[in-house]
């Protein structure tokens, strides 16, 4: 009789274990040993530098977490696809990640167009999309429940840039932007920031980011004789523009957003980068007074794939740490809804002298904006 009871109890235990395993496997992207995540990001083409560095930072945080045992015993498996800064490819990648690879969540997209394309699919099926590298204010105006931003918006960056110039008495300001979803978002943010300072742009010119013919934009800007030029550009477009400005004898003050691609500028312009002012949405990766910077530098030193220190790389690392905290709080049997709830519960969360707060209607984790100046040798002065 006792043996029968023991066999019955053992059977119940096996059944409970099987049911728990079955429940885990019914959640897409979650297995007993892994959580599978998906990323579409620009890794090739003229806009690739920031995307590659961001992806490296994300991978750095995930590798660090996996070395420490993962999330409740599960390793993180990030599957990354290149979209070459093409929204249509980003949409195709997203469909593949959700429908074929059955990822648990989407993470670390780069670019406004890619984020819009990925979000449209993700929202339909309730897949979280976390920490896209875009500052689009339009995406933040009508926040979706599944979409979480880490970085400050382009509006935040433009406000800081324009306010700084107004304080210095610089009032003849022009904008050059690339004619794509990112550039148009930057233009809108610039115009709104100028309006708040009761200023009017002396010129606004656009550049086709594929053809990169900057001559018409340079001619239009030159006629306006600005005191400062704000760049709503990234990648190769920025380098070609700045080369053209130098050749034309023009060199008013130059301001750029955090996605300006400083490493590419250094390689293309050499010492000509000196004096360019950039907004930054994360602490300087050289400023070790921040605990998160010390943690990032330690992770970089311990990495099997060391990389150069870079603002976009530390941004990717911070984004990865936010994802990891959300997954940890989602519990031992995570669900997509549980991850959304866990991230929404991050209120004034101190990641190491960097505060993440999703207690706002825009799901915007940070509004930090600092200004830094590129020196002639390519280093930064804050």
- Least confident among 105-119, 293-307, 310-324, 346-360: 293-307
Element (H, E) at 34: strand 34-41
In a domain, 43, yes or no: yes
Which range scores top for mean pLDDT: 258-262, 347-351, 356-360?
347-351
Domain containing 319: what range? 33-151+287-367
25 or 349, which is more confident? 349
- pLDDT-derived band at 273 (thresholds 50, 70, 90) equals confident
In a domain, 137, yes or no: yes
Mark whether 160 and 273 lie in a shared domain. yes
In a domain, 125, yes or no: yes
What are the pLDDT digits (tens) for 51-77? Answer: 999 999 999 999 999 999 999 999 999
Is pLDDT of 290 > 80? yes
Mark whether 110 and 170 lie in a shared domain. no
Looking at 247, 280, 313, the residue that finishes a domain is 280
- pLDDT of 151 reads 97
Mark whether 164 and 274 lie in a shared domain. yes
Which of the 8 DSSP states describes residue 281? Answer: S
Mark whether 209 and 249 lie in a shared domain. yes
Mark whether 132 and 179 lie in a shared domain. no
What are the pLDDT digits (tens) for 201-259? Answer: 999 999 999 889 999 999 999 999 999 999 999 989 999 999 888 775 667 999 999 99
Mark whether 147 and 158 lie in a shared domain. no
Average of per-residue pLDDT across 110-139: 95
Is pLDDT of 123 > 90? yes
Closest CA to 323 of 79, 19, 61: 61
Looking at 280, 304, 331, the residue that finishes a domain is 280
Looking at 253, 280, 307, the residue that finishes a domain is 280
Residue 108 near residue 115 (C-beta atoms within 8 A): no
In a domain, 272, yes or no: yes
Plot region of 102 (φ>0 → left; ψ -120 to 50 → alpha; else → beta): left
- pLDDT of 10 reads 45
- pLDDT-derived band at 376 (thresholds 50, 70, 90) equals confident
In a domain, 301, yes or no: yes
In a domain, 253, yes or no: yes
Is pLDDT of 18 > 50? no
- pLDDT of 15 reads 41
Mark whether 179 and 276 lie in a shared domain. yes
Overall domain count for the chain: 2
Element (H, E) at 231: strand 228-232
What are the pLDDT digits (tens) for 325-345? Answer: 999 999 999 999 999 999 999
Is pLDDT of 3 > 90? no
In a domain, 304, yes or no: yes
User: What is the residue-averaged pLDDT of the chain?
Assistant: 90
Mark whether 267 and 196 lie in a shared domain. yes
Average of per-residue pLDDT across 94-122: 97
Catalogue the long-range contacts made by 260-264 (C-beta closer than 8 Å, 24 or more residues apart).
Answer: 260/231, 260/233, 260/234, 261/49, 261/50, 261/234, 261/235, 262/310, 262/311, 262/374, 262/378, 262/380, 263/49, 263/53, 263/308, 263/310, 264/49, 264/235, 264/236, 264/238, 264/239
CATH code assigned at 42:
3.40.50.2300
Is pLDDT of 14 > 70? no
- pLDDT-derived band at 17 (thresholds 50, 70, 90) equals very low
Give the whole-angstrom CA distance, residue 315 versus residue 365. 12
In a domain, 27, yes or no: no
Mark whether 273 and 293 lie in a shared domain. no
Mark whether 272 and 321 lie in a shared domain. no
Mark whether 108 and 179 lie in a shared domain. no
What are the pLDDT digits (tens) for 139-196? Answer: 998 879 999 999 999 999 999 999 999 999 999 999 999 999 999 999 999 999 999 9
Mark whether 239 and 207 lie in a shared domain. yes
- pLDDT of 248 reads 59
């Amino acid at each position: 009789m006792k043996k029968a009871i023991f066999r019955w109890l053992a059977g119940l235990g096996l059944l409970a274990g099987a049911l728990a395993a079955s429940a885990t496997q019914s959640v897409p992207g979650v297995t007993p040993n892994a959580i599978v995540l998906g990323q579409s990001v620009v890794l090739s083409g003229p806009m690739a530098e920031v995307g590659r560095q961001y992806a490296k930072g994300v991978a750095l945080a995930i590798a660090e977490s996996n070395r420490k045992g993962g999330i409740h015993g599960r390793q993180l498996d990030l599957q990354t696809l290149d979209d070459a800064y093409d929204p249509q490819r980003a949409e195709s990648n997203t469909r593949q990640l959700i429908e074929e690879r059955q990822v648990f969540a989407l993470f670390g997209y780069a670019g406004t167009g890619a984020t819009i394309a990925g979000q449209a699919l993700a929202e339909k099926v309730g897949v979280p999309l976390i920490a896209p590298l875009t500052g689009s204010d339009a995406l933040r105006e009508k926040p979706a429940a599944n979409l979480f931003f880490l970085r400050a918006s382009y509006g935040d960056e433009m406000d800081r840039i324009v306010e700084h110039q107004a304080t210095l008495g610089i009032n003849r300001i022009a904008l050059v932007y690339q004619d794509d979803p990112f550039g148009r978002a930057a233009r809108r943010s610039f115009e709104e920031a100028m309006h708040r300072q009761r200023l009017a742009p002396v010129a606004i010119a656009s550049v086709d980011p594929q053809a990169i013919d900057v001559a018409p934009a340079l001619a239009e800007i030159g006629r306006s004789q600005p005191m400062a030029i704000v760049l709503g550009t990234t990648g190769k477009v920025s380098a070609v523009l700045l080369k053209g400005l130098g050749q034309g004898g023009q060199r008013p003050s130059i301001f750029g957003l955090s996605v300006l691609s400083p490493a590419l500028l250094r390689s293309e312009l050499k010492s000509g980068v000196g004096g360019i002012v950039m907004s930054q949405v994360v602490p300087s990766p050289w400023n070790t007074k921040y605990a998160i910077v010390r943690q990032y530098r330690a992770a970089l030193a311990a990495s099997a794939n060391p990389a150069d220190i870079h603002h976009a790389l530390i941004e990717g690392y911070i984004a990865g740490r936010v994802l990891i905290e959300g997954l940890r709080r989602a519990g031992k049997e995570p669900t997509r809804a549980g991850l959304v709830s866990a991230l929404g519960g991050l209120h004034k969360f101190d990641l190491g002298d960097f505060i993440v707060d999703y207690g706002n209607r825009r799901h915007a984790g940070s509004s930090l904006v600092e200004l830094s100046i590129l020196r002639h040798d390519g280093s930064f002065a804050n």
